[in-house]
Amino acid sequence: MTAPQFESTFEAARAAFDRIESLRLTNETTEHEFTRGRAQYLAFLVRIEDAATQQYIASATERLEGIPGVEPYPVDYWHMSVKGGGFQVIKRSLPDDVLREDVPRIAAGAKKLLAGQRAFEAKLGAIAGFPEVVFIEVHDGRRIRELNALLTEGLPQVPHYPIDAGVFLPHVSIARFTSNDGLAQLKETIASHRDDDGGPAVLVRRVEFVKVWLSETTPEFQTLASYNLS
């Protein structure tokens, strides 16, 4: 079986999405290949709370309306991904399992790593696609990628994913897929907005460590720790 190829630039990710012939649907990503029956996913992220940025995302999701098989995420799900933290479990059986008793150690370790990290500006860009989601590009001078690498290297209890560090692409997921019926229309929609100027810049002042409760409905977030950037 050929290992999946992960692109390290938005340009390469756009080209890869243009070539795909089928999407990874919600029931595949939440029930089978990814979760394998697990429901408590840990993650580091930046919540989208700025009103102008929320309005830009809302206008982007409006462009997806009417495309079959594309299901937008609600406002309270919008966030900039920083680092996946694995699945919280009572007993480890898979490589990306994290023991429940290790979660406080992860939170404390992240506090030390993020202490002194400076706030930074991030600007939302064009709509794009991964096989699993429609997303909005985040352009931030590589700061989120640097934070991802910092957490990946500095937290031994947290799994290392193939998308981490040098190939991590900061993004805001805005929709997931329930069928392949609208793939051609989706590609056309994404291509037609590829040259948009993008959204407003926002100052990122805080990173959160959260537990994400996964289900077939929209995931729910529980904040475990919050880290202010200087």
- pLDDT tens for residues 151-195? 999 999 999 999 998 899 999 999 999 999 999 999 999 999 888
Closest to 117 measured CA to CA, from 223, 202, 204: 204
pLDDT digits (tens, 9 = 90+) for 10-29: 999 999 999 999 999 986 65
pTM of the model: 0.90
41 has a pLDDT exceeding 80: yes
Long-range Cβ contacts of 107-115 (<8 Å, 24+ apart): 107/209, 107/224, 107/225, 109/154, 109/155, 109/157, 110/44, 110/151, 110/155, 110/209, 110/225, 110/227, 111/225, 111/227, 113/150, 113/151, 113/154, 113/155, 114/147, 114/150, 114/207, 114/227, 114/229, 115/227
- Count of C-beta atoms within a 10 Å radius of residue 49: 12
